[in-house]
Structure 1
């Protein structure tokens, strides 16, 4: 926080029985994000064949209206085994090496909360996305409107369907990276 005291020459007035001093101060715009408490231990990896909803918490600190954006590295959970990587979407044996999932946001603000509908992770990889919170730079994505979020909680909600979707998947660990950026609304 930067505070600047300004006393312009016209702000100081005096007469015989009083003195008036105008004082002006400013607070700089700030908007940041911090990691929340860890929610998954590596020993407790969720099962991709069972329907899941996972929440990942973070904290917002924006003293000005902001925009928040999310992007995905892969657009899906992808098999993390380079020795078995084949063409995009399947391994060399014909099994799929991708699992679709969805992403949503839930944000507390200093006014009313903001909750989004889920977007497919596939919509979080390229410009022109139909997802309202897709973006890769601060100031893009979902607008907070006139709301601020000073030391407020946020959550990324990740989920996928379970059961037999007719797709055979290779065994292994699947992963994706979501990147969240926040900044003053542009």
Structure 2
């Protein structure tokens, strides 16, 4: 196994095959983060940024409609509350499909991506079964957990880059003996 450095976060990892001049990413989070160009600390409008904003907006609205539906149902209006939670489930399903598509399109074929994608998709199946049984709140909670897992997994490239920079800053700031 050859040791290479991630093209985004600059952390080392191992690959079975290495081609000269190719860019390699240690995870799908780094591959996704590398597609959002940052120039002089400014984030320009780009397709990757729009996808991230849409995913965040979808995740927020999923939680909003789920909590609002549960609150309205607790007030004594269960039909209206169920409709709001149903909207939360629909938004959650769209966000789950979007995150899953991003992981598949990230072009990294690491086993760790599959380890996270499979439980997230299993939670999506669990949500589908819960929705078929009519337990909408259980379905929206399952979808929220799956989407939150995929959101954190997809953004880990930025976290890894921050960690690498912090480690590098600490090592360069250490006094030499």
TM-score, normalising length: structure 2: 0.24
Instruction: Say which structure, 1 or 2, has more relative contact order (CA 8 Å, 6+ apart).
Output: 1
TM-score, normalising length: structure 1: 0.23
- Bigger radius of gyration among the two: 1
